Amino acid sequence: MESTVDCVMQETGGLGLDLILDFRDNDQGFGGTVGDGKGDKAETDPQDDRKHLDHREKIEEEVVGRMDTPCPVKKSVIIRCLAVHGRWITSNTHLQLHPHESLQLAMRSASLCFLFEQTWLLSPKQQGKYLHILEDLMQGLKKKVLKPLVAKRIKLEEVRSALKHLRVSSGGGKIAVLVNNGDEA
């Protein structure tokens, strides 16, 4: 079985990932999304598409894992998956890097950024920066460079009852509700 790093490198043509969003809460499950450095290149060969999907499934299986289990990915694997000038964004406030991991980041000119979810409470200047980051993320989702990890889908009518049964700290990420306006068939 291929390792996560091998799958990522084969999927990105040896470039690595430009961005890794890591929403692990103190090493409890990876709820992030990975985006590659290849952009929106379309594959034309159906055989390549099958290989492409196989690698994506392996990466999601190994990196993302199941939501209710501890994260199987080590920090060194995440760093090795980063491209040159890649960015690792995490919300884990207790993350500590060993000196050799810091050296690996420095040799790739990669950066480690921390996501502070309560940024909205800061000054308007900071809110503007945060809005630009969110705008970039939304453009990535729109172009399908980033893919949200959906753990469970529920109907809008069932949201109230589902929220009653939601575990507070399940490590499963945030809740998003998609409301169709009836335009889609």
Considering the domain boundaries, does residue 178 fall inside one? no
173 part of a folded domain? no
135-185 pLDDT, tens digit each: 888 898 889 888 777 777 777 788 778 777 766 545 555 666 666 655 544
Q: Is residue 181 part of a domain?
A: no
Q: Is 140 part of any domain?
A: yes
**Span 14-34, average pLDDT:** 65
H/E stretch holding 46: helix 46-59
**For residue 183, is it within any domain?**
no
Report residue 107 as tokens: 């040799």
Tens digit of each residue's pLDDT (9 = 90 or more) over 72-118: 578 888 999 999 999 998 888 888 889 999 999 999 999 998 887 77
- Of 20-24, 31-35, 102-106, 170-174, highest mean pLDDT: 102-106
Residue 179 lies in a domain: no
Tokens coding 31: 């709820």
Q: Whose CA is closest to 150, among 31, 8, 7?
A: 31
Tell me how many domains the chain contains. Answer: 1
What domain range is 64 assigned to? 4-164
The strand pairing partners of 114, in sequence order, are 90
Residue 184 lies in a domain: no
The helix, strand and coil proportions of the chain, stated in percent and rounded to the nearest 5, come to 40, 10, 45
Q: Which amino acid, residue 119? A: T
Q: Is 174 inside a domain boundary?
A: no
Average pLDDT over residues 28-41: 39
Cα–Cα distance for residue pair 11/55, rounded to 1 Å: 7
